[in-house]
Amino acid sequence: MERSKAQIVLAFTAGALLTLGFKDLYPHLRRWLQTPKQERHTQDAESALKLPYFSPHAPSTLPSSNAIHAAPLLNEVGTTRVAKLSEEYVVKYGPQVDPIEGENMMFVKRYAAVPVPDVYAIYFDSERNCTYIIMEYIHGETLASAWTSLDDTKKDRIAAILRTYMKDLRALPAPGYFGTLARRPLLESMFWTGQDTPSISGPFDSEAQLNDGMIQKYLLFGGPAPKAAFYRRTLPHVFCGHQPVFTHADFQRKNIIIHTDSEGKMAVTLIDWEKSGWLPSYWEFGMAMSAYHFQDDWDKWIGLILEPFHNEYLHLRMIHLDIWS
């Protein structure tokens, strides 16, 4: 079979890197190049990032902790804050911030053609009891703030871009479990407890275990036993046969940043990867619809961007409301 020019260039580049001594300078790169493509991401997913992490590619001197705490806030939810330090840096920090969010972005950046912020540092300050994720500041506005100013042509254009992103994420071969990278517990709100509760937070080896985790979370949050019994009877008939796929898990317009340059080229970036992980294939659609309150036409575009799972969505929304209402 004749090889394309792109294949030839890629093969030459990989061979050159190894031949010219890069294997000694970058052993991880050497191992990655020698690993079959379909196994590359799984290899990464099975090993957690060693912290603290500082990227060698930061565009300028990283801000100090004092500078971060003095910077103006872009967002604040509970003890978690997001501060803009400059036109280059934004920092998410707080005692409840999990380093996995930064790891998720690095994972997606490496293995999927999905634009995410570059991560420049992840570290913990024991004196402040605070975790910091220093990342690239993305210029633009959220899709939430821009939505009412967009016509259907622009919405179609954005939806087409997002659809390619989601297809790329779904194409990542799963490592065989439901959980976060390196087989760790899920941080998605339907499973998070803040404690060491693997029966609720995972990781899970099967969809049946994941279903049971949701039911146990429901009981933990005060749900009545008769309704839990109902879920035990019904969920196995609805939440079954779904494979784990890498999922953003908070697909809302507030987490999509759009920017159009002077030449009309549009950039679309996904942010806020805290809840991401290997979740059932229906999860992205179900939770995106559950977070939507039918105040406009966003549901139409969700169905164009994501593979619809209508039946699963209705059941997921019911148990989601039961847990959090």
pLDDT at site 184: 96
Whether residue 45 is predicted with pLDDT greater than 60 in this model: the reply is no
pLDDT at site 325: 80
* pLDDT-derived band at 12, boundaries 50, 70, 90: very low
Whether residue 46 is predicted with pLDDT greater than 60 in this model: the reply is no
pLDDT at site 216: 98
Residue-averaged pLDDT of the chain: 89
User: Considering the entire predicted model, what is its pTM?
Assistant: 0.86
State the Cα–Cα distance between residues 227 and 301, nearest whole angstrom.
33
pLDDT at site 80: 97
For 13-29, what is the mean pLDDT? 37
pLDDT at site 13: 38
Whether residue 9 is predicted with pLDDT greater than 90 in this model: the reply is no
